A and B are shown apart, each in its own frame.
Chain A
Amino acid sequence: MTDQAVEREVGRRRLRKEDARLITGQTNWTDNIQVAGLLHMAILRSPMAHARVTRVDVSPALDYPNVVAAFSGADLAEGLGSLPCAWPVTEDIVLPGHPPVAVDEVRYAGDPVAVVVARDRYAAADALEAIEVDYDPLPPVLDLEAALAEGSPLVHTDKGTNRCYTWPLATGDSFAAVRDRAEVTLKRRYHQQRLIPNAMEPRAVVVTPIAASGEYTVYSATQIPHILRIMLSTVTGIPEHKLRVIAPDVGGGFGSKLQVYGEEALALAIARRLGRPVKWTESRSEGALATHHGRGMIQDVEIAATREGGLLGLKVDLLADMGAYLMLVTPGIPILGAFMYPGIYKMDAYEFTCTGVFTTRTPTDAYRGAGRPEATFAIERIMDELAAELGLDPVELRRRNWIRHEEFPYTSIAGLTYDSGNYEAATDKALALFGYDDLRAEQHRRNERGDPVRLGIGVSTYTEMCGLAPSRVLRDLRYGAGGWEAASIRMLPTGKVEVVTGTSPHGQGHETCWSQIAADVLGVPFEDVEVVHGDTRAAPQGMDTYGSRSLAVGGEAVHRAAKTVVEKARKIAAHLLEASEQDLEFSDGAFSVKGSPEARRTIQEIAFETFTNHDLPDGVEPTINAEHVVDPENFSYPHGTHLCSVEVDTETGRTRIRSYVCVDDVGRVVNPMIVEGQVHGGLAQGIAQALYEEAVYDDDGNLLSGTLADYLVPSAADLPDFVTDRTETPAVSNALGVKGVGEAGTIASTPAVVNAVVDALRPLGVRDVRMPCSPHRVWQAIQEARSGTAGGTGGTGPAQSGQSGQAARSGELGQYGRPGEEGWA
């Protein structure tokens, strides 16, 4: 009935309506907010990774000009609980307390030890220097394997172990059994380096109290205003109905703002104590220490196959670096990946174990893709290794094992039901755009002539589970909340429309997309729709934005609410047109009687009728507003094929991406321009992990890459022109047919790039390069392969990274390592 209208907006390449204010800054970023009497908070942080705090004296800070108050951890302990972890993944998980300000022990460099509150930000920062703290150093805990060994120093002494949890999954046949009948097995160790999220907008929080009534408004640069409200209520004891949380315009998050941070709780607790508004904004280098990190895993992966390349089974043993404390969903991140290691492939056996390990480093938590990039990296890297072992083209090996399009819906070995997909179509399209055969031929020529600049080709075929999530699945995973999303539509008397969403955009473009969806269903102009979000008073029900969920769950809720508005309006239209509902048509925003199109009532007119309520049918309430809460029955499963070619300068180790082609299938597309933007940004972030970024710690647990001079975030100048294309296989788990696109580019690109780098160097005997594949690492890997010292598994780089687990596993290299196939030019 609205098909004609659907043509109009959904699928249209619209410029984003939010961009004018976001780009010009004529909006409320949290740090822009000024209120009368505002105080500024500054935080003194531990310079040591691990120490007992024997004394904190904040009183000298009080003598500094403009300082209003100063607090130690002990001063704040009353009325301020532990920061929450909402995802205790096992029954026997070790859940240490996490005070927002350390009381007697600091457990990572950056752990807060004291707070100063002053009339301006400069005064607060200056006074930090006056605070006296005595530290009694304790040994740092940095290496994941050593941390689990008997006699290791402990991050949380009272817990008696650094093991946070062990989470197993075994499905299908026993892996041991399929390994016995396998003709080929490969075992590899991969390292997921720690990453620092670096959203463009730093974290910031402003709390304004109304002391007289005990009410508080919290403005925060957060992805999760609704969840934050509940959690801050729990942490501070302020009743939930006295707390209003507002996420004003938020400048990026990538998971780093899917968090309940100590600073948010502190600002609230201090505003309550002083009865004054309080602001805190992190600096970039403070954020490097105190905003949660991503990744941080060691992956031991074993794959079993037939000589023809038929996969039989996969075994994955993970060590996941929790950091010093468990934050909101820290333990669950690797578990989100647990189901994705088998990727798009069919096999008989799958075994997975993840052990979470405490270390004296910044806590880890969600970072774009959250568990799924790590999983995709491992399977896609080892598939390339298997192809090399078998002498097969890596695309051909994938083709022999992936789920064929006619087999959907397909229940994966890990137990997920993939609803739809067409891996053949995406791959064939990508190969054609890429010019795969020509590049292979050029690679061959370069290898033949010993060209010092080698060409490498990397493949990554991925799927991901996104659109978080079916609440009952989350229950089974012991997650502390549901996965629904809410939307309501208010038809204003003048015919304008407010869409109220529980999602909380921080750059994604929900205002544009939700407007497109609502405009189509309601038949109203795109410009007449306003989207309201990010304020627990204005949009009271929501589960917020992360996990590529907003469109598949929240967009679907908007779609259903709009449809209900039309159905409610139909009753009134029938009355006004003196016809039966069945005889009405709705198109282009107006009802008319079939066969007599001149008698019409627009939906705007009907909205006005509900305002006057002068002539509604008996028993009909004067509203056509509608509300829906959607809880999907399944995840959505975007997929795609990414192809990357690199030129590796073997003299210097530098990698240059020559071409990058991806064909993603994210289901139906609401706005192609936004999808392309998401893919571009995702690719940049995935490539950043492959080639550039790493949180590097020294042996004492100090973060060495603590500024953007040392932590290398690539810019457009460092990236190639991306060729992005799509296939569209509609999801069947929602009526819109959409799948989610926020994480796809990041998930797929990292292994595509590393596979390309290794592919370029394989003729020289290199079989792996540790990420990031920096020029120095690549050069080292070549040197090692050349001298035969380490089988070319990739140097550790000049810096010592505590999580490296530097000892190569015995047996792995000797068994499968191949000598360099040719001499050094």
Chain B
Amino acid sequence: MIPPAFEYTRPDSVDEAVRALADAGDEAKVLAGGQSLVPLLRLRLAFPELLVDVGRIPELRGVREDGDTLVIGAMTTHHQVVHDPLVRRHAGLLAEATATVADPAVRHRGTLGGSLAHADPAGDLPAVALALDAELVVAGPAGRRAIAAREFFVDYLQSALADDELLLEVRVPRSDGWDFHYEKFHPVAQSWAIVGVAALVRRDGGRIAEARVGLTNMGATPLRATAAEEALAGADGPEAVARAAEAAAEGTRPAQDLSASPEYRQHLARVLTRRAVLTATGMG
């Protein structure tokens, strides 16, 4: 548990950070809350030459409104997200899911941006960002660009961020009036989800008008359960939701690990999708 040697820099601004990343080529890693990167370093599974600590860049913190969009700084900690009134009001799914991340110590250090940029399909927040149709704003030497969450998660632990790009903020469309629930299935409180389901549901009368379902740990990236989403549209009660949820694992290729087989994960995805939607809507 002794990390290999690395250089360390702590820029004060986004420009400085981007410059540091650009200068280092592909040998730098951004250090946010350190809750994923530091263990990788200590287990000697990552060997960056330079750590760019973005913890002292004021621009990266805090939550603000921009019209119908909530803008959350990448360095906003999980704890701040959970307790932020704007997030709770306009992106309840994110607040609810973030409260299930690891334990209080981790939530005080870990950040929303770090969690998304790490692109771990077992992390809770990538699937939530997908369900919320969030947009991720990044800065690089050529300027700023926005990446849709759907385009952001490329492969296992791999995002669309270039080596010289820094994640600045997460733009979340307000989901006021939507029902939501994050159904996390984990063996012990502090462990990763075996499977998690983030459900966001808009109802029209007694029917589901639109549903968005994000899946945690059901493949190399977080996924949207598109077949289930389509099937959920028009569902008018528990039976219909249950039928629709049967499609939740379609197209998924979950991994085998110590906690679960792929078949078990697919089974859980179906059960948990049903439960997530029923809990969200109160239909159950």
Contact = CB atoms under 8 A, between A and B. Distances in A.
A757 to B, nearest CB: 14
Contact of A776 (B1, B42, B192, B261): B261
A798 B4 contact: no
A600 B187 CA distance: 65
A125 B3 CA distance: 9
B264 A776 contact: yes
Contacts of A715: 103, 188-190
A714 B261 contact: no
Given A710-B258, A712-B191, A285 B185 contact: no
Interface string A201-227: 000000000000000000000000000
Contacts of B272: 652
Contacts of B185: 652, 654, 775
Interface string B260-284: 1100100110011000000000000
A122 B188 contact: no
A714 B188 contact: yes
Contacts of B261: 776, 798
Interface in B234-261: 256-261
Contact of B258 (A125, A652, A798): A798
Contact of A125 (B2, B257, B260, B264): B2
Contact of A707 (B43, B188, B189, B192): B43
Given A125-B2, A710-B258, A798-B258, A652 B268 contact: yes
Contacts of A692: 187-188
B136 interface: no
Interface residues of B, number: 26
Contacts of B194: 775-776
B142 interface: no
Interface in B20-69: 42-43
Interface in B191-250: 191-192, 194
Q: Is the interface of A mostly helix, strand, loop or mixed?
A: loop
Contacts of B257: 798
B1 A798 contact: no
Interface in A681-714: 692, 696, 704-705, 707, 709-710, 712-714
B267 A799 contact: no
Nearest to A714: B188
Contacts of B192: 709
Contact of B191 (A125, A696, A709): A709
Contact of B188 (A286, A712, A797, A799): A712
Looking at A42, A286, A776, which has the most chain B CB atoms within 10 Å of its CB? A776
A283 B192 CA distance: 22
Given A776-B259, A776-B260, A712 B187 contact: yes
A121 B267 contact: no
Interface in A702-750: 704-705, 707, 709-710, 712-715, 717-718
Interface string A132-161: 000000000000000000000000000000
A635 B2 CA distance: 45
B2 A122 contact: yes
A798 B260 contact: yes
Contacts of A710: 258
A652 B185 CA distance: 9
A705 B188 CA distance: 15
A652 B260 CA distance: 11
Interface string B1-22: 1101100000000000000000
Contact of B187 (A121, A126, A717, A774): A774
A283 B39 CA distance: 12
A776 B260 CA distance: 6
B70 to A, nearest CB: 29
A696 B258 CA distance: 8
A345 to B, nearest CB: 35
B259 A798 contact: yes
Interface in A644-691: 651-652, 654
B259 A774 contact: yes
A122 B1 contact: no
Contacts of A652: 185, 268, 271-272
A267 to B, nearest CB: 17
Contacts of B191: 709, 712
A652 B194 CA distance: 11
B33 to A, nearest CB: 17
A779 interface: yes
A651 B270 CA distance: 10
A284 interface: yes
Interface string B164-202: 000000000000000000000101111110100000000
Interface string A315-353: 000000000000000000000000000000000000000
B258 A704 contact: yes
A797 B187 CA distance: 14
B264 A779 contact: yes
B267 A779 contact: yes
A118 to B, nearest CB: 11
B267 A126 contact: no
Nearest to A712: B188
Looking at B2, B42, B261, which has the most chain A CB atoms within 10 Å of its CB? B2
Contacts of B258: 696, 704-705, 710, 797-799
Contacts of B188: 692, 712-715, 717-718
A710 B259 CA distance: 8
Contact of B1 (A283, A774, A780): A283
Nearest to A704: B258
A654 B188 CA distance: 11
Given A718-B188, A776-B260, A776-B261, A285 B5 contact: no
Looking at B42, B188, B190, B256, which has the most chain A CB atoms within 10 Å of its CB? B188
Interface string A583-595: 0000000000000
Contacts of B264: 776, 779-780, 798
Given A122-B2, A126-B4, 16 more contacts: A121-B2, A283-B2, A651-B271, A652-B271, A654-B185, A692-B188, A712-B187, A712-B191, A714-B189, A715-B103, A718-B188, A775-B194, A776-B194, A776-B260, A798-B257, A798-B264
5 contacts: A652-B185, A707-B43, A712-B188, A715-B103, A715-B190
Smallest CB-CB A-B distances: 6 pairs: A283-B1, A717-B189, A125-B2, A798-B261, A712-B188, A718-B188
